[in-house]
Structures are given as structure tokens and as C-alpha cells.
Chain A
């Protein structure tokens, strides 16, 4: 049976990875506390290799030891989530094995000597299928926690690199999980002032929707927190309804919401790219459309 190694850094939500590795023997390599290793063991994996209590060490400090474990096994497939620390582990493994890394992956088929991977290229403007001989490293959204397993946890001694956490400044608020939202009202550069965010939030409340934004509003001006940014390097969402207000629909944004059931785009420019991939295209100013829509829904 082909072999898959799933790399985990401190977060046991690997349901999508386990699903992608169906039909293979799954070993999870876990960096983090014993509680995380136990939670991973409760997913449908065959074995958990745990690198011991991290203590004050940053999880990234264990990337080298993780690469040692995986390189010794040389599996057909290595999976890691898109979370930042998980990507660090995957990078160390890819370097050690000289293995290709695939992102924006829609399908993985594993066979005895490698894997066939369907992936987006150049931010998703095109798609390619590649056959990887040896080990394929694939980065996917982690998904929810896995269930239905009771795997043994084997502890392996590891010497971490010199990266130590000296101070934790926890989040002042809970992170929003846009990936599970059923309706999303998203706004872009068409919004002129931070004061107008309230107008967008009123519409979201009327629709029972989460608010989201394109990159400039989360990183250029910080009107929204980063966990609300939808786009290629941000959140990838698949709500029933995605309402894009004043977002032109550049590829880097649009690719993050292509999984949506229904897309409504509101833009003053009748030639904006979003109108080519929306179900409903409202040619108009969001400052007129948003209040009118809020009124119509309440």
C-alpha cells in the first residue's frame, strides 16, 4: 500500500488531509503538545510519530527533525496544511528529498511509485496535471478535525533548532472562520472610508452573513482584520452566496471565492473582470446599492 506522511504543527485540524490520503497508509508526524498528538491519533491515521513536548521552543524549530523522520521513510505523498508553521515543516521535507511542492491542488491520485497531482498554476489562471515520481509534497487546506481513529502514538526524541518563544501576545478577539460561512458580504477598494464599514456590516446583518474584504482593505488600510481577507494568499471560501461590493474581480481575489454557489458583483464599471464570473452583475455605486439592498431585506 502506498504511504502518506501528514505533517502537523500544533493544530490537529487535518480532516481534509486525511481525506486526500484515502487508500494509503497514513503516518502523522506531530510537532506540538501531547494533547495535539492525541487529537491527531483520533483521526483516521495508522500511526502517530510525536516529537515530544515542545516546551518553550517554537514549533518551527522542529522542522529539521521532522525532515529526518520523513526522509527515512521516503513516502509517495507528504501532506501539510496551509497554516504557516505547517508550511515550514513541509518546506524542510521538500528540501531534504528534493521533492516538488504543489499548492492550489484539486486532486491527488497516489500509486506505487508516485502521485498524480492536479494543481492550479500562476495563481489559478491555468491548471496542470503532473506525474511525480518519488515523493510529492502537497499543501492543502487542513479542513476540520478528523474522527474515527485510535492510532498508537510513538514518541521520537528530537533536537530543536534555536528558536524559542519568549513572549505570547494572544489575540484580543476570536478569529472568524470564513471557510464555514454560508453567506459572505465582501467589499473592496470601492469603499471610500473606514466609517462606511458600518454600512456594509448593516447589510451583512440583514443577510445573516459574515463580512469579508479584498486584500487592500486588510493589509493596506487595516479596515478589516486579516482573517477576513479573501484571495489567493488569504481565505478560500465557498458560501452559498458571495456578494462582492466594489471589488473589480482581479484574479488574485476572485480565485478565493470561486467555490461560492451564487456570486453577486456590484460595481460602477460595467467592464470590470468580476462581471465575467458572477451570476448577477449590478452596474451601480455600492453607496446606492448597499443601503437599498439593506432596506429591501429588513
Chain B
């Protein structure tokens, strides 16, 4: 059995700056394994340990996705090996582009039974890559997954559903997006980090993958800073908390908010 976890090497937008024209610059922002991906790795590691499966990390992105820092950081989370497509043509790739290339890499690995992803990426947060990836593979997909185990001839999947949950029986390969709180990921220790340096990293050339023609195209028209409501920004401070609160209540009442 082969289990793939698709992960992203990404910046946190909190560290970016946006100029008045809406251009985003990452400046001194530091990239990392995207915030919720370690949850998917942990879920995959536990399932791989329980079933004797191989756990493979897959990532596609800009050239830095293949940097030793990036691959070691990913491997230290618990992968047996990683396969990356690192090409600056994929820096800032769209959801669909990312998912289509991921599907090609998964086909390249071959005989994959299960693909896990995190809930969302820290930078884009669209929560769409697993669904598009499944579509490209011709597999079903399920979001908000909390547990995965191997049943008799199928995969048993529990997912959060309308405040409760559902248990699903899945036959055939599937893409599962882990709920962000499905499991608590382990924190890599020194031993994991040292072992990570010895595990295999396969770099796949983007040009070697057959990405089919697309019926749609996207052209940028303009960028801007989001129009935020103009806010009062009135600072209320003072040693007497009751006076501060009274000032707030009076202001809210004067503007009919309460």
C-alpha cells in the first residue's frame, strides 16, 4: 500500500507586505511546511505504521520547494521519502494548476491507494486543491476527515458532517482532506531531523510531466488593495475601567449600535 500526503512549502501572508497597487511582496518572510499539512502527515504516518504502507510526501511549487531546508523539514515530519516538482513556473501557481501537476506526480509514482491533504494552505486558504486533485485523478474525495482506518476490503473514514459526523466505507483510491484538528501532529525531535537528511528525495522535472491542454485561460486585469471600511480607530484607555466602558457604551448608544 502506498499513501501520499500532498503538502505545500508556503509563506504566511501575515509576513507579506502589500503596496498601494495591490502587489504582494514576501520580503523577509520565511517559508515552511504549510500550517495544517502536519496534521495530514500525522494521520498518514499512523495509518502507514498500522498497515505497513509506505508514506510518501509530494509537493509542487517554486524552486525553493526542493531546497534541502524544505525537503528536510518535510521529511522530519515522518515521510519515508518525498517526491517534488520544483520549478519557478509553479511559484504562486493557481489552485487548478497545482492540483493538475500533483495528479501527474501521483500517476508518476504509481499504485497510490490514498492521498491525504491538510485542511487548507496557509497562504491561499481556498480549501480546493484536494477536490480538484481528486477530479484530475478520477477519484472521489472527502473533506473534514477526522479518522482513517483499513477495514475488510475497504477504507473506513470518519468525517465531520453538519455538526455531527458520518462513517464512510470507501472502496478504491480516494483523496481525503484532514480536518485541521483530526490529530495532534508530533513535533520533530533531533533524531527525526537527523534521520530526515538520509531519506530519499526525488526531483521530477516539470517538463517531463504531461499536463494536458486547458479549455480555460486566466488573464490578470488589475490588482489593488482591498477596500476596507473606514474605521474610526478611536482609542479608549485609562486607569478607570468603568469610565472607559461608560465612554464606549455612550458612543455605541449615540450611534444606535446598541
Contacts and interface: CB of A to CB of B under 8 A. Distances in A.
13 contacts: A67-B135, A87-B128, A94-B96, A126-B22, A128-B224, A163-B174, A166-B156, A168-B164, A251-B13, A252-B125, A279-B234, A280-B252, A281-B233
B149 to A, nearest CB: 13
B91 interface: no
A251 B14 contact: yes
Contacts of B63: none
Interface string A258-298: 10011110000010000111111111100011001101110
Interface stretch (A45-53, A144-152, A189-197, A225-233): A225-233
B128 A101 contact: yes
B245 A292 contact: yes
Contacts, number: 299
**For chain B, what secondary structure do more than half of its interface residues adopt (helix, strand, loop), or is it mixed?**
mixed
A282 B242 contact: no
Interface in A158-194: 161-175, 183
B163 A227 contact: yes
Contacts of A125: 13, 16, 18, 24, 226
Contact of A219 (B127, B180, B252): B180
Contacts of A174: 163
A64 interface: yes
B213 interface: yes
B133 interface: yes
B231 A169 contact: no
Given A58-B166, A129-B221, A139-B126, 17 more contacts: A91-B134, A100-B95, A101-B128, A122-B123, A128-B221, A133-B218, A134-B216, A135-B216, A163-B168, A164-B168, A170-B162, A171-B162, A225-B163, A262-B257, A280-B232, A295-B242, A296-B246
A36 interface: no
A136 B218 CA distance: 9
A162 B138 CA distance: 12
B172 A292 contact: no
Given A133-B216, A171-B163, A240-B257, A101 B126 contact: yes
Interface stretch (B52-60, B139-147, B200-208): B139-147
A226 B181 CA distance: 10
Nearest to A281: B235
Contacts of B189: none
A175 to B, nearest CB: 5
